[in-house]
Amino acid sequence: MEKYVLSTVGLLVLCLVSLVLAVYSGRSKGAAGALAGPVLDARDDNRLYRIDRVHMNSVEALTPFAIPTVLAMLLGVEPMLLAALVWLHLALRFIHLSVYLRGGEAARGGKLRTVLYVSSALVTLVLILATAWAAVTA
């Protein structure tokens, strides 16, 4: 598995980001006196809502990416291709969370934030297809 060290580290960073966002979201809600769970004032100009949504977006994107990544390693997907997909996805997720947390026009739905989210979903799709190809040609 040494050949997958870049992919492994990238996947662990992705998991760490989700964990850090969970703590950040919970701490922000606590400081605001809000209850655990979804933020009911669901507006892009509500910072607490954006923090909660960036955390949930991270969690929602993690499983569909992490499972094929592990399967790709087990099936022998070319290590540099896998590493490129993992780190591209991670970069897109970092940019997405930065844009979303900053707020403003770029963070509003249908704008840059959505393009970033869809781009990371497309990287996930490519990963799934590469993993499926490795499975059927093994």
CA 58 to chain centre: 4
Closest CA to 21 of 124, 101, 130: 101
pLDDT tens per residue across span 62-101:
999 999 999 999 999 999 999 999 999 999 999 999 998 9
Closest CA to 37 of 20, 24, 25: 25
Is residue 19 very low, low, confident or very high in pLDDT (cuts 50, 70, 90)? very high
The residue type at 129: L
Which CATH topology does 2-137 take?
A: Four Helix Bundle (Hemerythrin (Met), subunit A) (1.20.120)
SS3 116: helix
71 vs 132: CA distance, rounded Å: 9
The domain limits of the chain are 2-137
Is residue 110 very low, low, confident or very high in pLDDT (cuts 50, 70, 90)? low
